[in-house]
Structure 1
Amino acid sequence: MRRRRVFSPVHLGAFVIALLVALPLYWLAVSSLKPGAELGSLPPRLWPQNPTTEHYTEAFADYNFARYMLNSLLVATVSTAGVLALSLFSGYALARLPMRGKRPILVGLLMISVFPTVSVITPLYLIEREIGWLNSYQGLIVPYIAFHLPFAVWIMRNYLLRIPAEMEESATVDGAGPTRTVLQIIVPQALPGLFTAGVFTFTATYTEFLMALTFNSEDAFRTVPVGVALFGAEFEVPYGTIFAGSMAAILPVVILVLVFRRAVVSGLTSGAVKG
């Protein structure tokens, strides 16, 4: 006999949260398709009477939005690759190798991961000006790696703790060195943790605003958040174009999360088992 499914308060709470998250995205998508005359209509329409893609055309044709997206994707991808490579070996060292001061290191990583960017933006700007990194890709990539590496190391260290040490011992008996052990034994087992750290890092670097605005003032190096913020003229705010650009900008992040959602959940829950 089948048991009836009972919707508990947990299900109701999850539904409410999902609805609160989905509504702004839905309104953003709908507003990006509304003609200019319907954007300020009262009462607001849940669906445009005359849908149009003119705002998307304006964003990509008049505001160089394709370049902004390319810059964001390039900076976020390279930064994420650097963070994953460094966090894998650093997390392995903290999880497996004997060393002094592990706890202070972990506490320091946790403190750095929540350090406010605005407090170091001025000295970073002065440093990049001196070494000629303003208006460049490396001027964003290197700080992004430095700021997001501590959190990724914390994730990888916690995840690697759950991998049985016997697998590494067997590889050592067979003559594998530390680097080979990490690449051939640890990496296949740590993929969920890598995906988790990668998704968080990519999303954070793709949407970062303050550094991108401060370090890159030339239009050729602007990223999506800065490009969207600077849409419009002195006496005009093109809300429809802003909605269209924002909608186009979030698509890579949405696709990334949908593709790797199971790996991300697995990495988060597995990494929480041991601390």
Structure 2
Amino acid sequence: MRTRTKVWWWVGGLLIFAYCLFPVAWIVSLSLKAPSDLDNGSFLPSAVSWQNYQLVLTGDASGLFLPALRNSVGICLIATAISVVLAALCAYAVARLDFPGKALVLGLALGVSMFPVISIVTPLFNIWRTIGLFDTWAGLIIPYLSITLPLSIWTLSAFFREIPWEMEQAAQVDGATTAQAFRKVIVPLAGPGVATTAIIAFFLAWNDFVYGISLTSTERARPVPAALAFFTGASQFEEPTGAISAAAVIVTVPVVVLVLLFQRQIVAGLTQGAVKG
């Protein structure tokens, strides 16, 4: 590649990088501004203030934010674990077994992932109110599976197809059952794919707003994205922009930490099978 071409690639990459990070930098800047400094028209705060973070973590907004943060962590972890386990079993069957309707399973998974969430919220609301799942953890975990499970099945089935049959057959020759071969041979070999699937599923559940705002009504099960919509200022004349920005930064930290810790697994998982041989 010529030097001029490299320069253009670097310039294009930096422009895309700046375009993607500008909203994040803006939110961070807003979170560090005092309420009187929010409308000064400047991108950077005139003086760094931790008032918004204190309001969210220990102040008046902590009673709304901290329970929602606990709900989001617990609900998303449980939904991710269930999604990965069920997707692994389904993907293994799709990748290894020949049965009628195998293509239909993947087609239905893809169709469910493309189905608009907003169209099923009202029926879910009525059903959950009837059977007692409204405003509960289970009432959010079950709908979250409809978001995370289809993509998990598609991702893991691609990984399982790349694992040679001989590995499983060798384990069975040594006396392992099919379940033992799957648990001790297939799943460890598909480790990057499992990690990638779990992280993506966690992100999908973590960022959901529609289910969280529609299927909860109190702090008992309301997740963070829905709780941010209920932030208020100190008075009716004050907008909660700073507090919402501080809460958004805090919520983003777990996502950034996960990506930094598992970036190799994510890259390996997303590129698995991209090059034949």
Q: TM tier, shorter chain?
A: over 0.9
Contact 2:147–2:205 (8 Å) recurs in 1: no
Structure 1 segments (4+ residues) deviating >4 Å: 3-6, 271-274
CA distance in 2, matches of 1:41, 1:205: 36
Contact 2:31–2:246 (8 Å) recurs in 1: yes
In structure 2, do the counterparts of structure 1 residues 272 and 113 end up closer, same or farther at CA, with 3 Å as the change threshold? farther
Q: Which residue of 2 aligns with 1:70?
A: 70
Q: Which residue of 1 aligns with 2:247?
A: 245
Instruction: Encode CA deviations 1:94-133: one digit per residue, 9 max, x unaligned.
Output: 0011211212221221111111111111111111111101
Question: What secondary structure sits across from 2:46 in the alignment?
Answer: coil
TM-score, L = length of structure 1:
0.92
Residue-pair matches, total: 270
Among all aligned residue pairs of Structure 1 and Structure 2, give the percentage whose two residues are the same amino acid: 35
1:90 maps to 2:80: no
Runs of 5+ consecutive residues of structure 2 not aligned to the other structure: none
CA distance in 2, matches of 1:125, 1:272: 41
1:12 maps to 2:23: no
Q: Which residue of 2 aligns with 1:265?
A: 267
Q: 1:57 aligns with which of 31, 54, 57?
A: 54
| Structure 1 residue identity aligned to 2:131 | I
1:129 maps to 2:129: yes
Q: Which residue of 2 aligns with 1:117?
A: 117
Instruction: Encode CA deviations 1:227-250: one digit per residue, 9 max, x unaligned.
Output: 111101555421111111111111
Contact 1:71–1:221 (8 Å) recurs in 2: yes
Contact 1:155–1:271 (8 Å) recurs in 2: no
1:178 maps to 2:181: no
CA distance in 1, matches of 2:119, 2:274: 30
Instruction: Encode CA deviations 1:25-82: one digit per residue, 9 max, x unaligned.
Output: 112112101111221113x143x22211110111222122111111101111100000
Contact 1:231–1:237 (8 Å) recurs in 2: no
Q: Which residue of 2 aligns with 1:24?
A: 23
In structure 2, do the counterparts of structure 1 residues 45 and 213 end up closer, same or farther at CA, with 3 Å as the change threshold? closer
CA distance in 1, matches of 2:239, 2:107: 45
TM-score, L = length of structure 2:
0.92
Runs of 5+ consecutive residues of structure 1 not aligned to the other structure: none
Contact 1:171–1:181 (8 Å) recurs in 2: yes
